[in-house]
A and B are shown apart, each in its own frame.
Chain A
Amino acid sequence: MKKFINDVKAMFWRCVLQTLRNPSALLVAVAIPAIIMMIFVFVFGGSMDVGDYNITNFLVPGVLVNVLVQSSQSTGINVNQDMTKGIINRFRSMAIANSAFLIGHLLAAFIKTIVTTTVTLGVAFLVGFRPTASFTEWLIIIGLIALFVLGVTWFSMWLGVSQPNAEEVGGYLALAAIVVFLSPGMAPTQNMPRFLRYFAENQPMAPFINAIRALMNGYDIAGNDLWLTLLWWGGITVAMFLLTVRSYKKKLTI
C-alpha cells in the first residue's frame, strides 16, 4: 500500500509536469470559451431573452461546461501519447501497479480543472457575473462540477487509451465541446426547432447546467435536475471507467 501511494504520487507529479510543459493547451481551453462568453454578453446580450437572469449569470454554466470539456482534451492526448510511444512499456516492466498510471492522469486532471474553473469564473466576474449562491450551495455546485469532471475525464482517458492517435482524441472531445451549444447552456431552448429542443433539454449536460445555474443564482433546483445530474454523470463515470479499464487491459495484452 505504501508502495502504491508512492507510485501514484510519482505518476501524479509526472502528469502535472506534462500539463505545465504545454501551457498553451490550457490557455486555449480557457480563452476560447471566455471569448465566446464575451461575444454572447456584449454582442447578443441585448437581444437575448434570458428571463430573470443577468446575461452573464445565465451564460456561466454553459461556458464552464465548454471549458471543462476543452481542458480535458490534454488529459486524453497525454494518455494517448504515453500509450503509443514507448514509455508505457518501461512502466510495465517495473514493479508498479498498472492502475497508478491512470490514477496519476486523473488526479492531474483535477488540478487542471481547479485552475481552469477559477480562471473562467474570474473572467466571468469581470464581465458581470454576480452569483448569489450561499456557502452550502457553493459546496453542492463544487460537488456537481467534480462529478461532471470525473465523467468527462474518464471519457477523455478512454479515448486516449483506445484511439490510435492524438488527432482522433482531440477531434472527439472538440465535438463534445460543441454539443454544449445544443443545450440550455448558451441560449434558452424555447426558440429552438422542435427536434433540437428535445435533444437540448434532455441531453446529459442539460440537467447539470440547469442545476448549477439555479444554485448559482439562489433559486431552487427545478424538478429532477439534481437527481438526473447525479444519475447521468454517475452513470457516465462508471461506464467510461469500465470502458477505459477494459480497453487498457486489452492494449496491454500482447
Chain B
Amino acid sequence: MKPIVTVEGLRKSYKDHEVLKGVSFEVKEGGIFALLGSNGAGKTTIINILATLAKANGGKAQINGYDCFTQQNDVKRSISLTGQYATVDGLLTGRENLILIGRLKGIKNPAEKADELLAKFNLTESANKPADSYSGGMKRRLDIAMSLIGNPKVIFLDEPTTGLDPQNRLAMWGLVREMAALGTTIFLTTQYLEEAEALAHYIAVLDEGKIVAEGTSEELKELLPSGMIKLTFHGSELLAAAEVALSEYRVANINSELLSISVLTEGHVAELTAILTKLQAADVPVLKVEQETPTLEDAFFAIIGHEKESN
C-alpha cells in the first residue's frame, strides 16, 4: 500500500538552532501513527511543516501524493490540524465553532453536521456556551470534532492528551480509536510511551531532531534487552564513579535521589559477574543489587541515551 505521508531528510533550523536534522519516515494509510518524543524534540515543528504552517530548510514532504512545499492548497484539503494549544475560538460557542469550520470547508449543511458532532462528542449540553467556559477536556473534544469536518484523509493531533486527567485521557484514547476505525489516518504526537503503545499501529521515536527508532510496538519491544540490573550505592560520588566504570553498558536510567543506576543486559548471569567485577576494579562498593524486568519505557530511554553518546 502506498504511504499517505512521506517525509524524507527533513531539515529545519531556527537561526543557529538546528531543530530537525534530516528526519525520514513514512505513514501508511489508515490506522494510527504516533510520533513519540520528549519536550523540545521537534514534534510540533514536524507537524507545522506537514500542515504547511512552517517552512522547512531542506528535505521532502508529501501528503496524499501532494508536495507540502509546492502544492499547499491540495495538502490543506487533505488534512486537519488539532494543534498543541486549543485551536478553537473561545468567544464563540461550541456549536458556532463547528458551523464556522463547516462553512469554511464549504460543506453542505454546516448546522446539521455541527449538531451531529456535538452529540457524538458529548457536548450537546454545552453547545450554546462560549468555548472559553469549557473545561480542558471539553475544549479538546470540541477541537477534535472541528478536525473531523470535511472528511480529511489525515488528522494531525499534536499531544491530544497532554494536560488531561487520567479519566479524560482514557476517553480521548477511545475517541482516537473510533476515528481511526472510520478509516481516517491519525497522526498523533505524544510524550508518553504508554500512550503510543496503547494507541498506535506504528511508532516513530524522535530525539534531538532525528528518528532514532521506529516500528510497531512489538518491533520496538524486540529492541528491548531481556534483562536489567539495578545497582544502588552509598553516595553520589560513588554513583558518579559507577557511571564512569559502566560506561560501556547501556544504561536505562540513573536516579540521583535513590542513588541507583539501571543497566540493561542480555539476561545472562555472567554479565552480572562482569559488572560487579568492573565496579570492584574501580573501587566502587555496591549497596544493593536487584534483578528487574525492563519496560518499553526503559527501552525508550536506552535508545535515546545510546544515541546521545554516539552524537
Chain A residues close to B by CB (< 8 Å)? 3, 6-7, 9-11, 13-14, 17-18, 21-22, 78, 81-82, 85-87, 89-96, 252-254
Q: Identify 19 new A-B residue pairs, CB closer than 8 A, beyond the known A21-B92, A254-B54.
A: A10-B100, A10-B103, A13-B100, A14-B89, A17-B91, A17-B96, A18-B91, A86-B83, A86-B85, A86-B86, A87-B87, A87-B89, A89-B51, A89-B87, A90-B101, A91-B104, A94-B76, A94-B104, A253-B55
Return chain A residues, CB-CB under 8 Å to B55: 253-254
Do the beta carbons of B87 and A86 come within 8 Å of each other?
A: yes
Q: Are B52 and A92 in contact, CB atoms less than 8 angstroms apart?
A: yes
Checking B52, B54, B81, B103 against A90 with a beta-carbon cut-off of 8 angstroms, the contacting residue is B81
Instruction: Answer whether A85 and B106 are a contact pair too, CB < 8 Å, given A13-B100, A17-B91, A21-B92.
Output: no
A92 to B51, CA, bound (A): 8
Known contacts A10-B104, A14-B100, A94-B104; decide if A85 and B92 are in contact (CB<8 Å).
Answer: no
> What total of chain B residues lie within 8 Å of the partner, measured CB to CB?
33
With known contacts A89-B81, A90-B146, A254–B86 Cβ distance under 8 A: no
Please tell me if the beta carbons of B52 and A93 are within 8 angstroms of each other in the complex: yes
Q: CB of B287 within 8 A of chain A?
A: no
Interface residues of B in 103-130 (CB under 8 A from A): 103-106, 130
Please name all residues of chain A whose beta carbon is closer than 8 Å to the beta carbon of B96 when the two chains form the complex: 14, 17
- Report how far A95 CA is from B51 CA in the complex, Å: 11
The chain B residues found within 8 Å of chain A, CB to CB, are 48, 51-55, 73, 76-77, 79-92, 96, 100-101, 103-106, 130, 146, 156
Q: What is the CB-to-nearest-CB distance from A30 to chain B, in angstroms, rounded to a whole number? A: 20
B252 CB → nearest A CB, Å: 36
Q: Which of chain B's residues have a CB closer than 8 A to the CB of A96?
A: 104
A89 partner, pick from B79, B83, B90, B106, beta carbons under 8 A: B83
Residue among A82, A96, A254 having the largest count of chain B Cβ atoms under 10 Å: A254
Q: Is the CB of B81 within 8 A of A87?
A: no
**Residue pair A89, B53 in contact (C-beta under 8 Å):** yes
Q: CA separation between A89 and B106, bound complex, in Å?
A: 19
Residues of B close to A93: CB separation below 8 A: 51-53, 76, 79-81, 156
Q: Which of B76, B83, B90 contacts A95 (CB 8 A)?
A: B76
Give bound CA distance, A7 to B73, whole Å.
Answer: 15
Known: A22-B91, A92-B52, A93-B53. A85 touches B104 (CB 8 A): no
10 contacts between A and B (CB under 8 A): A14-B92, A18-B91, A81-B90, A89-B83, A90-B82, A90-B146, A92-B51, A93-B76, A93-B81, A254-B53
Measured in the bound complex, the distance between the Cα atoms of B144 and A90 in whole Å is 11
- Residues from chain A with a CB closer than 8 A to the CB of B80 are 93
Q: What are the residues of chain B within 8 A of A14 when measuring CB–CB?
A: 89, 92, 96, 100
A91–B82 Cα distance when bound, in Å, is 11
Closest to A10 in B: B103
Q: How far is the CA of A124 from the CA of B156 in the complex (A)?
A: 54
